[in-house]
């Protein structure tokens, strides 16, 4: 359930509502806005009388939420959430570009990548500390030496860092080096990992699974939010359809759908979303036009020789050109880059 307090409601009135919610078995999450305080109640009994809350002092309105995600719902924070990662704000007036190679190959490769993406205007550096694969015979643990390198290079170029955490035991390691912890598409329903990230104080970039609905994505986000970590950034990275010309089908419509249903920011990943370098820029432009809060783009200094995802990685000059185009598109939808 949700209780929206009136403008100027006193702390005493808020406490009284919280007390009653707790008495009814709800776990209460408070969101203090500039004008209104919103109280989200999770897990309480279903058959309570809403009117009991509606008539309490200082209450503006009370709602029973039918959808199974409550904290991720737009009702919880009608004004939207701005996630802060280092100096970068995701979900505000600026479209945030996160760019870099699929994974670390060498110091030179990440150094050159970071230089290229920073010069072109990206503010977050992306790279996996190990390439996650579906095969059980490939390495599955991020390499700490690689994480150290990523941190050094990101700092040198004034970039925040996003990197993937693959299971719950790796959270402390990634927290030490990255500003944003990425959950891959194949891990969207790894509930042990999501629960652990709920206890983290680092922002989480949660990728949509290849066969997940938007509702399932929001339910996965709810796992993290209900643990107390409200800094979740959603990522549309393409879903599996019957189309074979592209690696996945980037669901651009998920962007306005998420904005309507949820207060969480959503970024688009046209690299994994299409799998083809020549399709990345058009889909990146479309995502920004559709209102994406950011982009996740693979850029490699020499994509033809990349260890992974070379075909979908932009060459440095292609990335620079794309950034210039995005600078023209963003103002048309009330944003900047």
- Give the Å distances, CA to CA, from 64 to 18, 56, 100, 155: 16, 16, 43, 46
Lay out the site mask for ligand PEP across 252-271 (x = CB under 6 A, - = otherwise). Answer: -----------------x--
User: Could you tell which of ligand PEP, Mn ion, none binds residue 237, using a CB distance below 5 to 8 A set by kind?
Assistant: ligand PEP
DSSP codes of every residue in 291-318: T-SEEEEEB-SSGGG-SS-GGGPBPHHH
Residue (75 or 237) nearer to ligand PEP, CB = 237
Query: Min. distance of Cβ 207 from ligand PEP in angstroms?
Result: 5
Q: Which residue minimizes CB distance to ligand PEP?
A: 184
107-120 helix and 144-156 helix, angle to the nearest 10 degrees = 30
Cα–Cα dist 185/238, whole Å: 9
Smallest gap from Cβ 39 to Mn ion, in A, equals: 40
Q: Which two tokens stand for residue 310?
A: 């070379």
Among 132, 198, 265, 270, binds ligand PEP (CB under 6 A): 132
Rounded distance between C-alpha atoms, residue 114 and residue 118, angstroms: 6
Residue 2 or 178 having the CB closest to Mn ion: 178
Residue 184 contacts which entry, Mn ion, ligand PEP, none (Cβ below 5-8 A, type-dependent): ligand PEP
Cβ distance to ligand PEP smaller for residue 132 or 265:
132
Cβ proximity to ligand PEP, 4 vs 160, nearer residue: 160
Measured CA to CA, the distance from residue 18 to residue 4 in angstroms comes to 12
Min dist CB 298 to ligand PEP, Å, is 7
**Minimum CB–partner distance for residue 253 and ligand PEP (Å):** 18
Q: Interface mask (CB under 6 A) for ligand PEP, residues 203-232, using x and -?
A: ----x-------------------------
Closest CA to 239 of 284, 215, 281, 208: 208
Token pair in block for residue 203: 């922002």
d(CA 225, CA 232): 8
77, two tokens:
């924070």
Q: How many residues does the chain have?
A: 337
Residue 40 and residue 26: Cα distance in Å, rounded? 9
Q: How far apart are the first and last CA of the chain?
A: 37
Buried-state track 266-297, b at ≥16 Cβ within 10 A, e below 16: bbbbbbbbbbebebbbebbbbbbebbbbbbbb
Tokens encoding 39: 């109280």
User: Is residue 300 within the footprint of ligand PEP (CB under 6 A)?
Assistant: no
- Chain position whose Cβ is nearest to Mn ion: 102
Handedness of CA 69, 72, 77, 78 (dihedral sign): negative
**Residue 303 interacting with ligand PEP (CB under 6 A):** no
Residue 198 interacting entry, from Mn ion, ligand PEP, none, C-beta within 5 to 8 Å by type? none
Nearer to ligand PEP (CB atom), residue 105 or residue 269: 269
Partner whose binding site includes residue 112, from Mn ion, ligand PEP, none (CB under 5 to 8 Å by kind): none
316 contributes a contact to ligand PEP by CB under 6 A: no
Contacting residue, 163, 184, 220, 226, with ligand PEP by CB under 6 A: 184
| Residue of 237, 259, 279, 285 interacting with ligand PEP (CB under 6 A) | 237
Closest separation between CB of residue 124 and ligand PEP, Å? 12
Q: Does 247 bind ligand PEP (CB under 6 A)?
A: no
Q: Which region holds residue 158: left if phi is over 0, alpha if psi is between -120 and 50, else beta?
A: left
Q: Which of the listed partners (Mn ion, ligand PEP, none) does 207 bind, with a CB threshold of 5 to 8 Å by partner kind?
A: ligand PEP
* Complex with Mn ion: residue 196 or 309, whichever CB lies closer: 309
**Is 135 in a helix, a strand, or coil?**
coil
Residues of the shown chain interacting with ligand PEP in the complex, contacts defined by CB under 6 A = 102, 128, 132, 184-185, 207, 237, 269, 272
């Amino acid at each position: 359930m949700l209780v929206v307090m009136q403008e100027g409601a006193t702390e005493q009135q808020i406490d009284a509502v919280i007390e009653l919610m707790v008495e009814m078995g709800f776990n209460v999450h408070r969101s203090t806005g500039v004008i209104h305080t919103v109280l989200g109640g999770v897990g309480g009994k279903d058959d309570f009388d809403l009117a009991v809350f509606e008539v309490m002092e200082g209450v503006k309105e009370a709602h029973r939420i039918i959808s199974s995600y409550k904290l991720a719902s737009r009702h919880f924070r009608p004004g939207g959430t701005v996630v802060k990662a280092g100096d970068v704000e995701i979900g505000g007036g600026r479209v945030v570009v996160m760019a870099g190679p699929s994974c670390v190959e060498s110091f030179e490769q990440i150094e050159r990548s970071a230089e290229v993406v920073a010069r072109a205007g990206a503010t977050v550096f992306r790279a996996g500390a190990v390439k996650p694969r579906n095969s059980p015979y490939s390495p599955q643990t991020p390499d700490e030496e690689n994480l150290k390198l990523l941190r050094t290079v990101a700092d040198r170029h004034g970039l925040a860092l996003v990197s993937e955490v693959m299971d719950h035991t790796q959270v402390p390691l990634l927290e030490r080096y990255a500003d944003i912890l990425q959950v891959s598409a194949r891990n969207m329903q790894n509930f042990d990992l999501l629960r652990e990230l709920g206890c983290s104080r680092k922002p989480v970039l949660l990728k949509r699974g290849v066969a997940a609905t938007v509702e399932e994505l929001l339910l996965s986000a709810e796992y993290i939010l209900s643990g107390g970590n409200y800094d979740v950034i959603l990522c549309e990275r393409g879903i599996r359809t019957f189309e074979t010309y592209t690696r996945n089908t980037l669901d651009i419509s998920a962007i306005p759908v998420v904005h309507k249903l949820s207060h969480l920011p959503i970024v688009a990943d046209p690299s994994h979303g299409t799998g083809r370098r020549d399709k990345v820029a058009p889909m990146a432009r479309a995502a920004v036009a559709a209102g994406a809060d950011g982009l996740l783009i693979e850029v490699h200094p020499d994509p033809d020789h990349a260890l992974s995802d070379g075909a979908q990685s932009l060459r440095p000059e292609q990335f620079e050109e794309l950034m210039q185009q995005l600078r023209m598109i963003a103002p048309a939808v009330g944003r900047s880059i």
